[in-house]
Structure 1
Amino acid sequence: MKEVRYFLIAVVVLGIAGIAGAVGPMTLTGAGDLYRVATHDNQVVVTARYADGTVSELVVPQSANAVADSLQVGVDEATGTLYVLWQKKTGMDAKLRLAGHLDGTWIGPTTFAGNDGTAAYNPQFLIHRTVSVITEDGDEGEEPVVTELATTFLHLAWWSQASEDDVGIARYAAVAIDDQGK
């Protein structure tokens, strides 16, 4: 019962935060760029259709053996970083991989779940940017000093299984990302 409660909490958190940055097998940015992720020739490929009409394909490095129905893509609009999430392999060998693409360079991929002997599958994620504004009083006669602190988070949820006999448990991680997409 405890596992079900954690799973429901993760679903609610992701549902609420989903307003922040939609992801899935395709995503549309505020600028009108459409990104779609799929597998082609045993590799994960992102097709980008930009608002100006140009089209490009980005092959995600080290993405062989991706499970096609696990693919997720999202964009951090503040930095322009494109993120791709996928499940590598199936069964008890399943692992979750995450890669970023910024300014023509791939960051990762990184295996963030399933490297500890557990199986990790059914990944979901969303992108959320929080901004805190701090206003400090200025000296007499001066304007107040306003400072903005912003952090981008990748909210990751997946199902984890310790053995084939285990029913599994929902897992969640919030990963803070810097402005270089790392």
Structure 2
Amino acid sequence: MKDAGSKKKLSSEQREELFKALKARFEKNMNRHIGLEWAKVQAKLEANAGKLWSLNEMEDTGGEPDVVGHDKKTGEYIFFDCSPESPKGRAAVCYDREALDSRKEHKPRDSAVDMAEAMGVELLTEEQYHELQKLGEFDKKTTTWVKTPADVRKLGGALFGDCRFGRVFIYHNGAQSYYSARGFRASLRV
């Protein structure tokens, strides 16, 4: 991952490669964005280099971002990580900085909240996670941290979800926990 303090701009080659991957994914999964046109999405992305950099971070860490909606009020396109399993480049992280700092030994390399902030993205909320699961079956072998309400986090917990037995489950765990099969999925509005 690039240094969070860097210029956050992609080279022309990186842009071209990213647009190629995003367009192919968009066209392959039209059920995720019925009625939307790639040309309009690309035009919006071309006008926002910072958001394009964030999408590239999502792609580079294995998220397979794709358009899942369009906010008619703001004109923004909504991207979610649509990889079949929780992104590998974001696995084995605890929930947030407080959880990371609380571990005295065997610390994970990072936290989901810190990584998302460095990438310029947001963790999926519970509601968004359920929306994602309506588009297919995700996290059949992995689990995904989701944005945790303050009252749960205050008590030391954090929420995660998965899809098992044909159902979507939201569970809780200590925020300081981390597993090789648990990462986080991101959302980005462009």
Q: TM-score category by the smaller chain?
A: under 0.3
TM-score of the two chains, using structure 2 as the length reference: 0.27
Whose helix fraction is larger, Structure 1's or Structure 2's? 2
Is the radius of gyration larger for structure 1 or structure 2?
Answer: 1
TM-score of the two chains, using structure 1 as the length reference: 0.27
